[in-house]
């Protein structure tokens, strides 16, 4: 692991690191914010998964999470959204597939299966690295994310309810197996058999019996992707049927951008802190 940068922020430290990933078969980059409380011992850790076209840097630069994280003593880990590099296959003509669009799945199809293993990277390899190198309490973890990352957070929490004590999302892709901007990615990563897609679809995981104690979702009403790609009502219907408490907050006038995310970031961190 190599430190690429570090800076003081709100009494803590914001750092960026790279390491050679065995799961993704390339060098991966991630950011970690450690609050001032980490100087005295392990702190809870909150994982933030970013959306399409993003890297670790988008939320680090524009998410405005450090003040709340410092106040509440929360470490924030921000992974990249996909493998990257000259030797990693990509589709340069699509912003919805390949680089910046890993969808937090483990690909099974060629040529993607060697590198596009973001599910295992987020749930196994990176947590092991974080636990070994940072003062965090791995018994107190939460996860959240935006858009594609909101999809990832929901599915990872549903599949790992014993690991994560809290899960929230900003404008998540609620049902990626039927959304226009994710169907193509799932078919190329996982194949044409849609039964394989169910493991990475929050609504279908719930339909198949997966459970989580509760979710918080914020969604902008002025989001241009609301009706075609995000469709939070599908998650609401699935949670209602399964008896999973969902707080779905439709936010008038807000879009899909980091202006929206940063407006409610502190709310989410406080919500997680109360549960972690």
User: Are the C-beta atoms of 77 and 50 separated by less than 8 Å?
Assistant: no
DSSP 3-state of 170: strand
The conformation of residue 194, written as its DSSP 8-state character, comes to G
Q: Which of 182, 223, 268, 272 is catalytic?
A: 223
Answer yes or no: 146 catalytic: no
| Cβ-count burial 97-110 (b if 16+ within 10 Å, e if not) | bbbbbbbbbbbeee
Q: Which of 151, 256, 268, 272 is catalytic?
A: 256
From residue 109, how far is each of 32, 51, 193, 196 by CA, in Å? 32, 22, 11, 12
Answer yes or no: 256 catalytic: yes
The conformation of residue 37, written as its DSSP 8-state character, comes to G
- Name the residue among 152, 33, 160 with its Cα closest to residue 82: 152
Answer yes or no: 223 catalytic: yes
Q: Which of 147, 166, 177, 182 is catalytic?
A: 147
User: Are the C-beta atoms of 192 and 202 separated by less than 8 Å?
Assistant: no
Q: Name the residues annotated as catalytic.
A: 147, 223, 256
């Amino acid at each position: 692991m190599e430190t690429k940068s570090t800076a003081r922020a709100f009494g803590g430290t914001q750092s960026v690191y790279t390491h050679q990933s065995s799961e993704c078969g390339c060098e991966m980059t991630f950011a970690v914010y450690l609050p001032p409380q980490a100087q005295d011992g392990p702190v809870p850790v909150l994982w933030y998964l970013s959306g399409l076209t993003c890297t670790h840097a988008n939320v680090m630069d524009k998410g405005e999470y450090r003040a709340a994280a410092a106040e509440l003593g929360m470490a924030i880990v921000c992974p990249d959204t996909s493998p990257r590099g000259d030797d990693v296959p990509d589709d340069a003509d699509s912003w919805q597939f390949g680089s910046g669009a890993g969808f937090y799945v483990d690909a099974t199809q060629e040529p993607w299966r060697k590198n596009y293993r973001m599910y295992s990277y987020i749930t196994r390899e990176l947590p092991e690295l974080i636990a070994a190198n940072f003062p965090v309490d791995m018994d107190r973890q939460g996860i959240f994310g935006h858009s594609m990352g909101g999809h990832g957070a929901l599915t990872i929490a549903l599949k790992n309810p014993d690991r994560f004590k809290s899960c929230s999302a900003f404008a998540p892709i609620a049902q990626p197996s039927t959304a226009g901007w994710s169907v193509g990615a799932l078919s190329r990563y996982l194949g044409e058999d849609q039964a394989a897609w169910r493991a990475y679809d929050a609504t279908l995981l719930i339909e198949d019996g997966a459970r989580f104690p509760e979710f918080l979702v914020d969604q902008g009403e002025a989001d241009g992707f609301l009706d075609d790609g995000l469709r939070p009502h599908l998650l609401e219907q699935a949670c209602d049927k399964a008896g999973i408490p969902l707080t779905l907050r439709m936010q008038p006038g807000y879009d899909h951008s980091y202006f929206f995310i940063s407006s409610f970031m502190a709310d989410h961190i406080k919500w997680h802190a109360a549960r972690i």
